[in-house]
Amino acid sequence: MSVRGVVTGAADGYWRMKRKPAVTLLHLGPGYANGMANLHNARRAFSGIVNIVGDHAEWHLKHDAPLTSNVRAHAELHSDFIRISKSSRDLSAAGSQAVAFSKNGWGKIATVIVPANHAWEEDAVSHESLESDGFTQVSDKRISEVAECLQSGKKIAMLMGGKALFEESTEIAGRISQMGDITLLCETFAARFQRGEGRVSLNRVPYFAEQAIEFLKGFDCLILVGAKNPVGFFAYPEVKSLLAPDKCEVLTLAKVDEDVNSALDSLAKMLNAPKTCDKQSRVVKEPVGDILNPANIGAVIAELLPEDAILSDEGITCGLELYTQTMGASKHDWLSITGGSIGQGLPVSLGASIACPDRKVVSFQADGSGMYTVQSLWSMAREEVDVTIVLLNNDSYAILNVELARLKAGEPTDKTRSMFDLSNPSLDWVSLAKGLGVSAVKVRTVEQFREQFEQSMRKKGPFLIEVIVSQDMSAGFKR
């Protein structure tokens, strides 16, 4: 399906799992525009992507044909690298440069704009592939400063993000954390976090600003390891934007484009850290009752998730529980929605599965956001990817009700409420999936969910489980 939110999100998922850039083919400004929302997310995930954007033939541009737009101005919104090819001879060089650039640091978005005539004129040449700059090394001075801080006896949190959430890095961080009063944290929206049984466990910084402020309030020092200094997702009246305490010292061990792993390794050597550390053990929790609430759904997934699964979380309000429940699941990769632009979960799951065809992907997907790129289901059927979609139908944009209440903007009117409501008419995801070529079932009890989820873990191919969620959102999230 050439619906571009699918291809850009899939390219993001592909990079996260494979760390090779996928190429998107977008057509003119509007084609690029259709892919923008997930390019925003990809940029926030620091994913390497190469966009090839076709533009009108050079001589045609000035005539302002209907599809004409300022393609460069579109691309500038997300691209770290932009190159307009100069001729069909130049096209291959432009492509090689873009591919090399996309692999710099933790990943970059590189865009090549191609006037149509460069694609059909016939003097194209092939160009050698180019080296990328890769990661920048962290200075010894910075590592020493962090080492000194870690030995200061202060209450310290190491906030891990980007590539620091890969197993090899969390392992070193786990060893370092035993050297003092050091807590390991995970950024709220991780591009890819290798976690679960046998790996080092990290606590995630909460999504809601007030909870995050409370969570971080005891720390004297925050050490950033591939992560950014945490800020509120949104601003709220009378809530500060920076979440760490005002008096908290913030040090950076490694920025996202720096060689996090080698910096951690040097730090561990400098500190003479122990060779081993505690790992997460397997935890299986029983669902409580037969109600399909987020905690019970999470418990079933945690129990049945196969080893080395990929778990994409766009569960929005339902996703908060899933993180906790799956702490002690079999080891897996956790992929978050990174830029807050909803409609990323299904495409990222598609791309992740194309990158790792031998691993089961579980796409934990809220209904409202799932609708943004529902076309992904068709592409999943076409590519026969091994993705189980756990589609959480709560008939609403529940998060919007939550955020509205948090603004304390007074009691919402019926009109306001109706804008967040998806129950008139209710979406029937089983029919939707069928229309797009994906098998699907609807479940209403924990027992039904367990049965269907268990079966889908045993077979291959795309499958959607529509989970009718019972959820009182008014409880947990109000301020």
Residue list 349-368, contact with its own copies (CB under 8 A): 368
Structure-token pair, residue 200: 């080092």
**Closest to 309 measured CA to CA, from 364, 362, 386, 383:** 362
State how far the Cα of 53 lies from the Cα of 43, in Å rounded to an integer.
Answer: 17
**Segment near its own copies (CB under 8 A); pick from 28-36, 100-108, 159-167, 312-320:** 28-36
- The residue count for binding its own copies (CB under 8 A) is 76
Considering the rule CB under 8 A, would residue 272 count as an interface residue with its own copies? no
**Segment near its own copies (CB under 8 A); pick from 55-63, 278-286, 316-324, 356-364:** 55-63
Q: How far is the CB of 181 from its own copies (least distance, A)?
A: 28
State how far the Cα of 198 lies from the Cα of 385, in Å rounded to an integer.
Answer: 27
List, as own/partner pairs, every contact residues 120-126 make where C-beta atoms lie below 8 angstroms and the sequence separation is at least 24, other chains included: 120/88, 121/87, 121/88, 122/88, 123/87, 123/88, 123/89, 124/88, 124/89, 124/91, 124/92, 125/89, 125/92, 126/92
Considering the rule CB under 8 A, would residue 338 count as an interface residue with its own copies? yes
Considering the rule CB under 8 A, would residue 250 count as an interface residue with its own copies? no
Between 56 and 332, name the residue whose CB sits nearer to its own copies: 56
Q: How far is CA 384 from the centre of its chain?
A: 22
State how far the Cα of 459 lies from the Cα of 105, in Å rounded to an integer.
Answer: 37
Report which secondary-structure segment, H or E, holds 361: strand 361-366
Conformation bin of residue 88: beta by default, left when phi > 0, alpha when psi is -120 to 50? alpha
Considering the rule CB under 8 A, would residue 405 count as an interface residue with its own copies? no
Considering the rule CB under 8 A, would residue 415 count as an interface residue with its own copies? no
- Cβ distance 250 to 134 under 8 Å? no
Considering the rule CB under 8 A, would residue 210 count as an interface residue with its own copies? no
Considering the rule CB under 8 A, would residue 108 count as an interface residue with its own copies? no
Considering the rule CB under 8 A, would residue 274 count as an interface residue with its own copies? no
Q: How far is the CB of 306 from its own copies (least distance, A)?
A: 26
Q: How far is the CB of 432 from its own copies (least distance, A)?
A: 3
At how many degrees (to 10) do helices 4-18 and 376-383 cross? 60
**Segment near its own copies (CB under 8 A); pick from 1-9, 106-114, 154-162, 312-320:** 1-9
Considering the rule CB under 8 A, would residue 3 count as an interface residue with its own copies? yes
Considering the rule CB under 8 A, would residue 461 count as an interface residue with its own copies? no
**Segment near its own copies (CB under 8 A); pick from 40-48, 146-154, 218-226, 325-333:** 40-48
Q: How far is the CB of 156 from its own copies (least distance, A)?
A: 23
DSSP 304-326: HPPTTEEEEEE-GGGHHHHHHHT
Q: How far is the CB of 311 from its own copies (least distance, A)?
A: 20
Q: How far is the CB of 410 from its own copies (least distance, A)?
A: 10
In the list 18, 19, 23, 60, the residue contacting its own copies (rule: CB under 8 A) is 60
**Segment near its own copies (CB under 8 A); pick from 33-41, 152-160, 311-319, 453-461:** 33-41
In the list 15, 26, 74, 398, the residue contacting its own copies (rule: CB under 8 A) is 74
Q: How far is the CB of 354 from its own copies (least distance, A)?
A: 15
User: What is the footprint of its own copies within residues 109-128 (CB under 8 A)?
Assistant: 116-117, 119-120
Between 69 and 455, name the residue whose CB sits nearer to its own copies: 69
Q: How far is residue 308 from each of residues 68, 94, 227, 333, 453, measured CA to CA in Å?
A: 46, 37, 24, 7, 16
Considering the rule CB under 8 A, would residue 233 count as an interface residue with its own copies? yes
User: What is the footprint of its own copies within residues 140-199 (CB under 8 A)?
Assistant: 189
| Site of tokens 């080698």 | 262
State how far the Cα of 262 lies from the Cα of 274, in Å rounded to an integer.
Answer: 17
Considering the rule CB under 8 A, would residue 375 count as an interface residue with its own copies? yes
Question: What Rg do the C-alpha atoms of the chain give, in angstroms?
Answer: 23
Tell me the CB-side half-sphere exposure of residue 125, using CA atoms within 13 A: 7
In the list 125, 284, 288, 419, the residue contacting its own copies (rule: CB under 8 A) is 419
